[in-house]
Amino acid sequence: YSQSAQSNPSGPTSGSNRVLRGGSWNCVADYCRSAFRSHYGPGFRGGSLGFRVARTDPWPSDTFTLAAQQAAQAQRPARETPEPPKYTPYHVFRDQEKLPALVYLPGGRFNMGDSQGIGGDDEKPVHEVTLDAFALGCTPVTVGDYLRFVEATDQHAPEWLEEGSQYHIDTGTDDHYSKAGVSRENLDHPIVGVSWDDAQAYCDWLSEQTGEQYTLPTEAEWEYACRSGSEAAYCFGDDESELADYAWYGENSQNKTQPIGTRKANAWGLYDMHGNVWEWVYDWYESYSQSAQSNPSGPAEGSNRVFRGGGWINDADYCRSAVRGRSDPGGRSSGLGFRVARRV
């Protein structure tokens, strides 16, 4: 080294060795110091010797200095820290404390319809469906959930046919419907006796309360969620002897609804997708398309809305993932309820 100050030094014009700097993977710490120097002939090669490039052309701006760099950085807007994902797959959340719990379901592709060939004609043809992510109620809407809506709006009280009928959910004498009325005294049972119009009105009310978009799930969303990755007859497989572990249905329900969430959940954390109550979905009823579809929501109009899942009064076959039911959107039943979906 020279003892005098230097400007842009580049070493002597000739010599026998070139300089190496920085240490390497096989060096002790002392060799990695900022000031450490080594040297070899310019033809030397080694397993621990590399290089980096520099550019020496004139810059189109002021001469670089550390102070200039720091000043420029100070003028830059602070880089925003990326927000973590709002939802993680199968995460359970609520928009408000007393509203239904939801499961976030990532989008995906599945085969919709009766792959086993044991169902009705309206379960065919099997067709591929692609869906965006959405959230779905962990359980059907309960009596307690729904009555909060009725009290807040003073409308859409659950009922069955006209006042005084033997089938009226509160006053009826028919055994099935009187038992459904008893179930309504239990706030943790699924609500029944609600029409499609009632169910959608409840979703609209949730949207007003939260500022989020609640709706009934589409038929495709419902089956995708029910299957939870399975192409079998049920979310757990084809053996209907296991159904009682997952569902309240004709064999174990004691002829009435049962508290939600008391059977096993499917693989995505959803309860009562099989049995307990049939569930209204968004779509008007129509025959299936043979072509692949993306986010289908049914025809623009029709005479019947679809419901899914089977209920407390049904045998195992009606509780299969692919089974479809339908009714006038104003229809009510002691075995028909719903669960909510939410856009994300």
Query: In this predicted model, what pLDDT tens digit does every residue of 111-129 receive, in sequence order?
Result: 999 999 999 999 999 999 9
Give yes or no: residues 144 and 48 share one domain. no
pLDDT value, residue 239: 97
Contact 98, 141 (CB under 8 A): no
Give yes or no: residues 21 and 159 share one domain. no
- Whether residue 65 is contained in a domain is answered as no
Residue finishing a domain among 37, 54, 71: 54
Contact 333, 160 (CB under 8 A): yes
Give yes or no: residues 40 and 158 share one domain. no
pLDDT value, residue 339: 99
Please count the structural domains in the chain.
2
- Whether residue 102 is contained in a domain is answered as yes
Give yes or no: residues 17 and 159 share one domain. no
Instruction: Respond yes or no on whether the N-terminal peptide bond of residue 84 is cis (omega within 30° of 0).
Output: no
Give yes or no: residues 193 and 262 share one domain. yes
DSSP β-ladder status, 102-105 and 92-93: antiparallel
Cα separation, 198 vs 146, in Å, equals: 10
Give yes or no: residues 30 and 141 share one domain. no
Query: DSSP per residue over 171-218, as a string?
Result: T--SHHHHHHHHHTTSTTSBP-S--HHHHHHHHHHHHHHHSS-EEPPP
Q: SS3 of 220, please?
A: helix
Give yes or no: residues 27 and 135 share one domain. no
Contact 194, 336 (CB under 8 A): yes
Give yes or no: residues 261 and 324 share one domain. yes
- Whether residue 203 is contained in a domain is answered as yes
Give yes or no: residues 34 and 149 share one domain. no
- Whether residue 86 is contained in a domain is answered as no
- Whether residue 332 is contained in a domain is answered as yes
Range of the domain at 22: 13-54
DSSP state of 289: P
All residue ranges of the chain with pLDDT < 50 are 161-167
Residue finishing a domain among 31, 54, 77: 54
Instruction: Give which of 223, 266, 46 is closest to 134, Cα–Cα.
Output: 223
Cα separation, 104 vs 344, in Å, equals: 8
Give yes or no: residues 41 and 139 share one domain. no
- Burial code of 226-239, b = ≥16 C-beta within 10 A, e = fewer? bbbebeebbbbeee
Cα separation, 302 vs 286, in Å, equals: 8
For tokens 């969303």, the residue is 221
Angle of helix 196-210 versus helix 143-153 axis, rounded to 10: 80
pLDDT value, residue 179: 54
For tokens 């007393």, the residue is 98
Give yes or no: residues 21 and 132 share one domain. no
- Whether residue 196 is contained in a domain is answered as yes
Cα separation, 223 vs 225, in Å, equals: 5
pLDDT value, residue 158: 73
Give yes or no: residues 18 and 155 share one domain. no
Instruction: Give which of 223, 218, 186 is closest to 320, Cα–Cα.
Output: 223
CB atoms near residue 296 (< 10 Å): 19
Its pTM stands at 0.73
Q: How far is CA 317 from the centre of its chain?
A: 27
pLDDT value, residue 176: 54
- Whether residue 8 is contained in a domain is answered as no
- Cα-based angle 26, 29, 32 (whole degrees, multiple of 5): 80
- Whether residue 117 is contained in a domain is answered as yes
